[in-house]
Structure 1
């Protein structure tokens, strides 16, 4: 959550007074502020000299001039203030206005100076959310309900306070108190008045919607999830995999699917209404012995329609005859349709996608990139296999995280109302509790989600664990996509070498294993510690050892140990040995890992503990899925192996 930084808010939101009235104003440029008009009405009503308006900024009392924002026939309770030139004050920071759409229960913050608190000198931060939209409201058009625990009995002094969204932008201005609740005038209601004064505002409000159904919430959940994988996702070095991205789009982008379906339905209707001799020509050519009606053409992912399309598009069989209007319309519709439309329509009934690839082939990288970059298309919720715990079913955990207090049925209905899909992404189900857990829960999760037509499921699993997942053997239930590493290996090598500052001379030294993103990344991170011979004759085991040795510098610094002891290598070897020979390749419990660390580097508080150092260096990662007990796992399982 961002909202506003508490250290700077007092220079953005300031108290304002005009004669006996006191309220709140906020900067929208270096010298301009917005407030409620009724706070400074004396300035506009004075017959002789205008009543003075003062704001207080960082202990300074600054004189301002006021301007009406009302326009003829459309009065509004807003005023524009400008710090007089003589004050010689320019704000270094100011707030941005945001034009949004009303969403019930949308959370906001209200910053202002209530007179009840130190006579209007203390800034308060109120947690509020939308309660009601007032139809036909003139002075105010939305009401709020408070969620904070601050003891505040009246709201005098809060008029003019900004209503701030998650991104720190202002969506409205407090203008009235109604039945002991606050109400505000939204920026969207005041658009015409702001345009008249040349005051700018943003319109990209959807990422600020952090309600249960909001894009902002699903995006924030994805960001939080991605933050847990550390170096396994590097946005700057993402390599395009267009085929995979198309597949992900086909299963998750409802708007594109509907556009393709609409064009296909138009073509189906046109073909069904062709004269009989034209339809017979198509049937004889393509050996179709069924009537070319709309339902038949649209069935099975439009497979028969695709054959008709290919025939008409390639051979143009109806160039002449007495039906020029019908033929022209048919050709226009065929021209509008593309191969990608039919590719998309093949996924009409597909609700489950599984990505399969070897370790380090880029599954996590691709899913993280897609989840973060495509929230405007669909609500994407990203999970990892290590998120799940033995005592809770996958269905229950995902429902709690995605739907909050809603049921799947209500959540699905709201998605339908909004015309969007929700995509549940679970990366690396082989990690964490692994096959034993997912053989009990994957099928149940798939069956449950298949009941809801606007929810999709995408998982990834490492080869060879896909053969151990019983539900994946139901091939008709899953669309399987194999990932084999970089599509353009040469470009990937160039990008990685440039990022890591590897000499141009070595860019011509291509290694087949570099098709694996993980191997290339580790090579680049250890490159400067390799000998010339090691750079030319790369050995995986040697490379992993070098990678750990490079990280050893940070680990020994954190634990205050002699670097020559190679304590990181020895510690990881001990943990790997325990995992392989005593714990069936499972993650190591945090208690056991701490015990080994204390034996190798004893008498240290947590800040200098060996386990803490390896977690900080990302050689180990937290894993809370292991039989419900906190555990740790290797950053890269290949290093353990």
Structure 2
């Protein structure tokens, strides 16, 4: 039996994938699109971080897809025809609306995008947004467009933490703990990944004491990166090159009010400090 969410999507609703930071929304969409393409189906994934302007959503979409001299109607008509031929809707997924210039862009452009794509019955629109930005991103939608949305909440590894550890630990060369780790943080895939990578960077093969807390994990991770890089470039670890670079980049981002920096700006800032 199809549940209510599946029935809504079957009837042409727009899928909105929500969840906390690091819960695996991007990986889920990427995996779905990759499997669709591997099976011979047509699917597209656009990244929110690459929407770097506050307007002109379609020109940014075409830029990501390396398409020139086309229009939204021509593009969507082509996708619609492909969906009709493959007897399955073409998925057009836009991941992480909260990234890049998303908070400004989608407030102005999402209504038009949903209305236009909804005219093509063989295209399925999928968008993802972090829980903490959901209200900001979606609050300008019209009542009509809000009725087109079907929400699916991604909970990461919740209630499957033990199974996730059994997969992650061997992959990173870590010994499985003799006593199950019951940390609720392990329900977050990004946290578990950082946890395992931090241990590997430090040359650990088992979980040490005092590993709890995201701040400790990030510090442990950065310490490992610091050790790894300093060994490669033959520099004294006491110079704290990685932490100093992070501080410079964070300062520049705050000063310029940007979520990302181009390589030249970041490199120049680190060299001056």
TM-score scaled to structure 2, two decimals?
0.82
Q: Deviation digits for residues 53-101 of structure 1, max 9, x if unmatched?
A: xxxxxxxxxxxxxxxxxxxxxxxxxxxxxxxxxxxxxxxxxxxxxxxxx
Alignment of 1:64-463 (within 5 A): 339-340=1-2, 344-375=6-37, 376=39, 378-390=41-53, 393-399=56-62, 401=65, 406-463=74-131
Instruction: Determine helix, strand or coil for the equivalent of 1:420.
Output: coil
Q: How many residues align?
A: 261
Relative to total residues, which structure has the larger helix share, 1 or 2? 2
Q: Which residue of 2 aligns with 1:478?
A: 149
Contact map agreement 2:9 2:150 (CA 8 A) in 1:
no
Q: Aligned to 2:109, what secondary structure does the other structure show?
A: helix
Task: Report if aligned partners of 1:356, 1:460 keep a CA contact under 8 Å in 2.
Answer: yes
> Aligned in 2, Cα 1:545/1:381: closer, same or farther, shift over 3 Å?
same
Maintained 8 Å contact 2:162/2:181: no
Q: Partner of 2:271 in structure 1?
A: 598
- Show structure 1 runs of 5+ residues with no match: 1-338, 601-641
Q: Name the CA distance, whole Å, in 1 between partners of 2:209 and 2:47.
A: 34
What is the deviation of 1:505?
3.2
The residue matched to 1:464 in structure 2 has which SS? helix
1:472-521 per-residue CA deviation (whole Å, 9 max, x = no partner) reads 68531311111121141110011111212222335523211111111111
1:547 aligns with 2:210: no
1:522, CA displacement in angstroms? 0.8
Preserved CA contact (<8 Å) 1:545 1:569: no
Report how far residue 592 of structure 1 moved.
2.9
Change (3 A) 1:428 1:473: farther
Contact 1:377 1:420 in 2 (8 A): no
**Of 502, 505, 508, the match for 2:174:** 502
1:204-262 deviations in Å (ceiling 9; x for gaps): xxxxxxxxxxxxxxxxxxxxxxxxxxxxxxxxxxxxxxxxxxxxxxxxxxxxxxxxxxx
**Alignment match, 1:81:** none
User: Cα deviation per residue 1:447-482 (whole Å; 9 max; x = unaligned)?
Assistant: 111111111111111121111013468531311111
Contact 2:51 2:102 in 1 (8 A): no
Per-residue deviation at 1:341? Answer: 8.2
8 Å CA contact retained: 1:403, 1:411: no
> How far 1:558 sits from its partner (Å)?
5.8
Q: Distance in 2 between matches of 1:512 and 1:541?
A: 15
User: Where do 5+ consecutive residues of structure 2 fail to align?
Assistant: none
Partners in 2 of 1:449 and 1:372 — Cα distance? 22
Take 2:175 and 2:153, find their aligned partners in 1: how far apart are those partners?
33
Hey, what's the Cα distance between the residues in 2 that align with 1:473 and 1:552? 49
Tell me, yes or no, if the aligned pair for 1:432 and 1:586 is still in contact at 8 Å: yes
C-alpha distance in structure 2 between counterparts of 1:387 and 1:589, whole Å:
13
CA shift for structure 1 position 547: 1.0
Per-residue deviation, 1:409: 2.3
Alignment of 1:564 with 2:256, yes or no, is no
The one of the two structures with greater contact order (alpha-carbon pairs below 8 A, sep at least 6) is: 2
Determine if contact 2:26/2:95 at 8 Å carries over to the other structure: yes
Alignment RMSD, CA only?
A: 2.9
Q: Which residue of 184, 202, 226 maps to 1:512? A: 184
What is the alpha-carbon distance in structure 1 between the residues aligned to residue 40 and residue 179 of structure 2?
Answer: 38
Counterpart selection for 2:212 from 538, 549, 562: 538
Query: What TM-score comes out, normalization by structure 1 length?
Result: 0.37
Runs (4+) of structure 1 exceeding 6 A deviation are 530-533
**1:75-132 CA-partner distances (Å, limit 9, x unpaired):** xxxxxxxxxxxxxxxxxxxxxxxxxxxxxxxxxxxxxxxxxxxxxxxxxxxxxxxxxx
